[in-house]
Chain A
Amino acid sequence: MSKNSSYWSANLRLVAICLVIWFVVSYLFGIILVEPLNNIRIGGYKLGFWFAQQGSIYTFVALIFFYANRMGKLDRKHDVHEDDE
Chain B
Amino acid sequence: MTLQTTTYLIVGFTFAIYIGIAIWARAGTTKDFYVAGGGVNPIANGMATAADWMSAASFISMAGLIAFMGYGGSVFLMGWTGGYVLLAMLLAPYLRKFGKFTVPEFIGDRYYSKAARIVAVICLIVASVTYVIGQMKGIGVAFSRFLEVDYDVGLVIGMGIVFVYAVMGGMKGITYTQIAQYCVLILAYTIPAIFISLNLTGNPIPQLGLGSTMAGTDVFLLDRLDMVLRDLGFLEYTTNVRLSTTNMFMYTLSLMIGTAGLPHVIIRFFTVPKVKDARSSAGWALVFIAILYTTAPSVAAMARLNLIETIEPAPGEYMVYEERPNWIKNWEATGLLAFEDKNGDGRIQYSADAATNEMVTVDRDIMVLANPEIAGLPNWVIALVAAGGLAAALSTAAGLLLAISSAISHDLLKGVFKPEITEQQELLASRVAMAGAILLAGYLGFNPPDFAAGTVALAFGLAASSIFPALMLGIFYKRMNKEGAIAGMVAGLGVTLLYVFQHKGIMFIQSTSYLGDMSENWFFGIEPNAFGAVGAMVNFAVAFAVSRVTAAPPQEIIDLVEHIRVPSGAGAASSH
Query: Residues of A with Cβ closer than 8 Å to B?
Result: 1, 4, 7-8, 11, 15, 18-19, 22, 26-27, 30-32, 34-35, 38, 42-46, 49-50, 52-54, 56-58, 60-61, 63-65, 67-68, 71-72, 75, 79-83
Q: Are B286 and A60 in contact (CB under 8 A)?
A: yes
- Contact yes or no, B567 A61, CB < 8 A: no
> How many B residues have CB within 8 A of the partner chain?
51
In the complex, are the beta carbons of B81 and A43 less than 8 A apart?
no
* Chain B nearest Cβ from A25, distance in angstroms: 9
| Interface contact B85-A82, CB-CB below 8 Å | no
Contact of B88 among A50, A68, A83 (CB under 8 A): A68
- A-B pairs with beta carbons under 8 A, tally: 142
With a cutoff of 8 Å between Cβ atoms, the chain A residues found around residue B220 in the complex are 43-44
Do the beta carbons of B78 and A67 come within 8 Å of each other?
no
**Distance A15 CA – B82 CA, assembled complex (angstroms):** 14
Listed from nearest, the 7 A-B pairs whose CB atoms lie closest are: A44-B220, A52-B74, A64-B283, A68-B279, A43-B211, A53-B297, A80-B566
Given the contacts A50-B211, A57-B293, A60-B84, A67 and B89 also touching, CB distance less than 8 Å: yes
In the assembled complex, the Cα of A71 lies from the Cα of B212 at a distance in Å of 39
Q: Are A60's CB and B570's CB within 8 A?
A: no
Q: Is B562 touching A4 in the complex (CB atoms < 8 A)? A: yes
Q: Which of B81, B274, B283, B566 contacts A7 (CB 8 A)?
A: B566
Interface residues of B in 238-257 (CB under 8 A from A): 238-239, 245, 248-249, 252-253
Chain A residues with CB below 8 A from B239, complex form = 35, 38, 46, 49
Could you say which residues of chain B place their CB within 8 Å of the CB of A50?
Answer: 211
Of the candidates A7, A15, A46, A52, the one whose C-beta lies within 8 Å of that of B77 is A52
Q: B555 contacts the other chain (Cβ, under 8 Å)?
A: no
Instruction: Write out the residue numbers on chain B whose beta carbons fall within 8 Å of the beta carbon of A34.
Output: 71
Give the residue of B81, B208, B566, B570 whose beta carbon is less than 8 angstroms from that of A57.
B81
Main secondary structure of the interface of B (DSSP, over half): helix
Whose C-beta in chain A lies nearest to the C-beta of B83?
A: A60
Chain B 209-224, CB-CB to A under 8 Å as 1, else 0, gives 0111100000011110
Tell me whether A52 and B78 are in contact (CB under 8 A): yes
Q: Of B78, B84, B223, B567, which one neighbours A82 at CB under 8 angstroms? A: B567
Residues of chain A with a CB closer than 8 A to B90's CB: 15
In the assembly, what is the distance between CA of A11 and CA of B294, in Å?
30
Residues of B within 8 A of A42 (CB): 211
B residues within 8 A CB of A4? Answer: 562, 565-566
A44 touches B279 (CB 8 A): no
Q: What residue of chain B has the Cβ atom nearest to residue A8's Cβ? A: B565
Residues of B near A61 (CB, < 8 A) are 283, 286-287, 290
- Contacting A at CB under 8 A, from B71-116, are 71, 73-74, 77-78, 81-82, 84-85, 88-90, 93
The answer to whether B405 has its CB under 8 Å from any CB of chain A is no
- Do residues B568 and A54 form an inter-chain contact, with CB atoms below 8 A? no
* 24 A/B residue pairs, CB under 8 Å, sorted by A: A8-B565, A8-B566, A19-B89, A43-B208, A43-B220, A45-B222, A49-B71, A49-B74, A53-B77, A57-B290, A58-B294, A60-B290, A61-B283, A61-B290, A63-B85, A64-B85, A64-B286, A65-B283, A68-B88, A68-B276, A71-B276, A72-B279, A82-B568, A83-B568
Choose one: A19, A44, A58, A64; the contact of B84 (CB below 8 Å). Answer: A64
B275: chain A residues within 8 A (beta carbon): 82
List the B residue with the shortest CB-CB distance to A85. Answer: B273
